[in-house]
């Protein structure tokens, strides 16, 4: 595993054998002392944890207790890969830092403001009642942070603006934010839904699953695994899930890579268009995440597809130079501002932890 720690702007990285979460926690705590972040572990009074799924129970961060722990465990049905791992990490920290209190920050919480006519699927209503099948959305902490940052950059109150945030990385989601609240988001019941991603298909006709089961002689779980791990950019290009590799192949004229980039940009543009229609107007379009912050080609491809409809005047020259720093990418006469904003989910987790624990 890769072990990274950043202290006062300086990044330290190493490739180490890390057997489990407990060992990882031990290494983190040792690093805090060896890098003189703290003199003693007794100084640590609070720990913030990212938890992927809070279901309908949690619309905000909470202080951890036995009930919260059980709720996260019960919600593992909705996030079988993530929630159990989140709990292992929490329990390891709780054991190592008995003097500290803990705060759970949920990836789904920000999207709990969506209305029922947006988050419900058109399937028998009893499935929602019995199994809580609905759109939950993810990357909520990032979308929340970016929506507040863009309001600051525009010198506007977040309650007065309509924003679309595009969190683009190997996993990717788009969120419509009206008056500071999430009103729609592209990921759904699981992070497999929405736009095309690095290895995930995003939205497809659900009948494709049973069709492929018959054609390939595979189980439903095996097909879902293909849609999660072998689809998206990797599946269409046949080359890589890494957008940098796709970009290089595009520059070399690889037709499959060009098709991949076009599908990717089209899916994002279509989602942006539908969210503008839902909100009625748009003040800012924001790119964030690993790709959104660093891949000028993706930003240009997407913006080019929506600029005429939205009255955007995009600075393609500045866009090529921009990475790693919040930057306005639209020209002064643009009807909609376009920005690249660097996300900081860790800061939100730290702020929520500090606020709830009264530090």
* pLDDT reported for residue 36: 92
* pLDDT reported for residue 21: 84
Q: What is the mean pLDDT of residues 254-281?
A: 98
Domains of the chain: 2-106 (3.30.420.40), 156-345 (3.30.420.40)
* pLDDT reported for residue 322: 92
* d(C-alpha 167, C-alpha 321), whole Å: 20
107 is catalytic: yes
Helix axes 83-96, 21-34, angle to 10 degrees: 50
pLDDT tens track for 78-89: 888 889 999 999
Residue 42 corresponds to which tokens in the numbers above? 């007794």
Q: HEC string of 211-254?
A: HHHHHHCCCHHHHHHHHHHCCHHHHHHCCCCCHHHHHHHHHCCC
pLDDT-derived band at 235, boundaries 50, 70, 90? very high
pLDDT tens track for 189-211: 999 999 999 999 999 999 999 99
CB contact burial 282-316 (16+ within 10 A = b; e otherwise): bbbbbbbbbbbbbbbbbbbbbbebbbeebebebbe
Asked whether 218 and 196 are in contact (CB, 8 A), the reply is no
For residue 353, pLDDT over 90 is answered with yes
**Residue 306 exposure: Cα atoms within 13 Å on the Cβ side:** 30
Asked whether 166 and 287 are in contact (CB, 8 A), the reply is yes
Which positions ≥6 away from 133 have C-beta within 8 Å?
Answer: 121, 123, 127, 189
pLDDT-derived band at 128, boundaries 50, 70, 90? very high
**Mean pLDDT, rounded, of the chain:** 96
Distances (CA, A) of 359 to 100, 101, 194, 234, 335: 12, 11, 38, 45, 42
For residue 14, pLDDT over 90 is answered with no
pLDDT tens track for 63-114: 999 999 999 999 998 888 889 999 999 999 999 999 999 999 999 999 999 9
Q: What pTM value is reported for the model? A: 0.94
* pLDDT reported for residue 22: 84
Instruction: List the catalytic residue out of 71, 107, 301, 352.
Output: 107
Give the closest residue to 54 by CA, choosing from 102, 94, 110, 92. 110
Give the closest residue to 200 by CA, choosing from 162, 169, 244, 246. 169
């Amino acid at each position: 595993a890769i072990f990274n720690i950043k202290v006062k702007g300086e990044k330290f990285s190493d490739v180490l054998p890390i057997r489990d979460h407990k060992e990882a926690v031990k290494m983190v705590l040792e690093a805090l002392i060896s890098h003189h972040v703290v003199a003693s572990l007794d100084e640590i009074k609070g720990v913030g944890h990212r938890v992927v799924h809070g279901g309908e129970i949690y619309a905000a961060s909470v202080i951890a207790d036995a009930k919260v722990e059980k709720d996260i465990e019960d919600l593992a049905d909705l996030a079988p890969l993530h929630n159990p791992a989140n709990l292992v990490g929490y329990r390891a920290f709780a054991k190592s830092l008995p003097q500290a209190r803990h705060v759970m920050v949920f990836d789904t919480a920000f999207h709990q403001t969506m209305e029922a006519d947006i988050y419900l699927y058109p399937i028998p209503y009893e499935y929602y009642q019995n199994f809580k099948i609905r759109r939950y959305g993810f990357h909520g902490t990032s979308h929340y942070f970016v929506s507040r940052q863009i309001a600051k950059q525009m010198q506007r109150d977040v309650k007065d603006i309509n924003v679309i945030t595009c969190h683009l990385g190997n996993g990717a989601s788009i969120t419509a934010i009206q008056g500071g609240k999430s009103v729609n988001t592209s990921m759904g019941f699981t992070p497999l839904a929405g736009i095309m991603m690095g290895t995930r298909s995003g939205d497809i006709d659900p009948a494709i699953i049973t069709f492929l089961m018959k054609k390939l002689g595979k189980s439903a779980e095996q097909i879902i695994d293909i849609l999660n791990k072998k689809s998206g950019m990797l599946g269409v290009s046949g080359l890589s899930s890494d957008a940098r590799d796709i970009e290089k192949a595009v520059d070399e004229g690889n037709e499959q890579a060009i098709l991949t980039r076009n599908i990717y940009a089209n899916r994002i543009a279509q989602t942006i268009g539908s969210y503008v229609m839902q909100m009625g107007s748009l003040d800012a379009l924001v790119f964030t995440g690993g790709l959104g912050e660093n891949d000028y080609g993706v930003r240009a491809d997407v913006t080019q597809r929506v600029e005429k409809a939205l009255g955007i005047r995009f600075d393609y020259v500045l866009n090529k130079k921009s990475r790693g720093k919040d930057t306005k990418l639209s020209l002064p006469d643009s009807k909609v501002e376009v920005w690249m904003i660097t996300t900081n989910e860790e800061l939100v987790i730290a702020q929520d932890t500090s606020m709830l624990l009264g530090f």
